[in-house]
């Protein structure tokens, strides 16, 4: 019966996602910071920090086109470049946002697939595309009727979508009574972790190696003390202080903004409905799964939750077609 209810809840949410558009997710009024592609990377950091944001669409003013999305991954790439070519630090200081693609090439990472969606397409489509490309945020790009030019309306994130689901689907989410343990929701083996004395660089290398956006910081007894997130690199390299990346995670975490939402934990016996309750109420970007002694058990990312909501119980070939 629990299984049936769970499926009924998930189907309800999926139907909801099919009749809403990405546009519906946006607040009535919002501010969008778009950065010119010719801006110095060094300066872009200050702008993000001053505006309290962690990403921004890029604009190529030479041909009036959307030039991609700047995210913490780009800064991590710059850091990797700095590590591989330490003699070029002066060069790094002169890089513009338009050089990001050259940096990717120089360090040998594959450029992220640039996906965008039209704001009036079903939200379900944006979600599917996010899961397929592993993009955590997707720009909403529309074409201006009069000029025929592309314009970036906004950016939607996994976080915003899950929040939107949580706020508008209480009658469906209360049906999700299966526990994290029963669903096998999240990752429980080969966890990448670090301790307070690890250097910021070590943690960045871990994130790159495992292709993840957060590393739990634990003590000797496996107790969770904090989480270092990809977005935490932004204040670390503010002002071009790349040499400070050798300092400890503990020090770096003390630089977090005052409004840092904190880290969220849950227990393997918590049910998915409770997780949606947390998403509804708080700024959650992932849940750290701990046992009763606060020892690390696993990690549930927003993509794990989104994947469950969209794909659990779907037929294999259905998934491939999406």
Q: Can you give the binding site for ligand ADP, defined by CB under 6 A?
A: 136, 158, 186-187, 190-192, 210, 212-216, 299, 301-304
Question: Long-range CB contacts (< 8 A, 24+ apart) of 291-296?
Answer: 291/267, 292/267, 293/223, 294/223, 294/224, 294/265, 295/221, 295/222, 295/223, 295/224, 296/191, 296/193, 296/216, 296/218, 296/222, 296/223, 296/224
Closest CB 306 distance from ligand ADP, rounded Å? 8
Query: CA 52, CA 314: separation in Å to the nearest integer?
Result: 38
In this complex, which beta carbon is closest to ligand ADP, that of residue 21 or of residue 213? 213
In this complex, which beta carbon is closest to ligand ADP, that of residue 229 or of residue 273? 229
Closest CB 146 distance from ligand ADP, rounded Å? 37
In this complex, which beta carbon is closest to ligand ADP, that of residue 65 or of residue 303? 303
Closest CB 230 distance from ligand ADP, rounded Å? 8
The distance from CA 239 to its chain's CA centroid, rounded to whole angstroms, is 24
Closest CB 297 distance from ligand ADP, rounded Å? 12
- Of 179, 197, 218, 206, give the one whose Cα is nearest residue 297: 218
* Closest residue to ligand ADP, based on beta-carbon distance: 301
In this complex, which beta carbon is closest to ligand ADP, that of residue 151 or of residue 191? 191
Work out whether strand 214-218 and strand 224-229 pair parallel, antiparallel, or are unpaired: antiparallel
Closest CB 321 distance from ligand ADP, rounded Å? 23
In this complex, which beta carbon is closest to ligand ADP, that of residue 59 or of residue 75? 75
Q: 269 near 125, Cβ under 8 Å?
A: no
């Amino acid at each position: 019966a629990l299984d049936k209810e769970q499926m009924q809840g998930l189907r309800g949410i999926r139907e909801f996602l099919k009749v809403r558009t990405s546009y519906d997710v946006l607040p009535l009024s919002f501010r969008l910071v778009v950065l010119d592609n010719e801006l110095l990377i060094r300066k872009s950091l200050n702008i993000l920090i001053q505006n309290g944001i962690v990403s921004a669409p890029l604009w190529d003013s030479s041909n009036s086109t959307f030039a991609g999305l700047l995210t913490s991954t780009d800064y991590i790439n710059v850091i990797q470049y700095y590590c591989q070519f330490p003699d070029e630090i002066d060069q790094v200081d002169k890089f513009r946002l338009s050089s990001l693609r050259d940096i990717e090439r120089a360090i040998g990472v594959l450029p992220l697939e640039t996906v965008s969606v039209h704001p009036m397409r079903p939200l379900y489509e944006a979600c599917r595309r996010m899961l397929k490309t592993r993009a955590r945020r997707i720009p909403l790009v529309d074409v201006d009727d009069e000029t025929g030019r592309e314009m970036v309306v906004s950016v939607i994130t996994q976080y915003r979508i899950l929040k939107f689901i949580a706020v508008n689907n209480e009658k469906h989410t209360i049906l999700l009574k299966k526990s994290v343990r029963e669903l096998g929701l999240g990752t429980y083996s080969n966890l990448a972790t670090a301790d307070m004395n690890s250097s910021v660089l070590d943690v960045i290398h871990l994130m790159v190696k495992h292709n993840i956006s957060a590393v739990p910081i634990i003590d000797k007894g496996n107790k969770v003390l904090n989480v270092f997130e990809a977005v935490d690199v932004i204040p670390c390299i503010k002002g071009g202080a790349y040499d400070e990346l050798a300092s400890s995670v503990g020090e770096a975490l003390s630089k977090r903004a005052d409004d840092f939402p904190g880290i969220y934990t849950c227990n393997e016996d918590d049910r998915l409905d409770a997780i949606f309750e947390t998403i509804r109420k708080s700024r959650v970007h992932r849940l750290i799964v701990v046992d009763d002694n606060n020892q690390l058990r696993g990690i549930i990312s927003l993509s794990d939750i989104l994947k469950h909501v969209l794909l659990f119980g779907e037929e294999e070939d259905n998934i491939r077609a999406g």
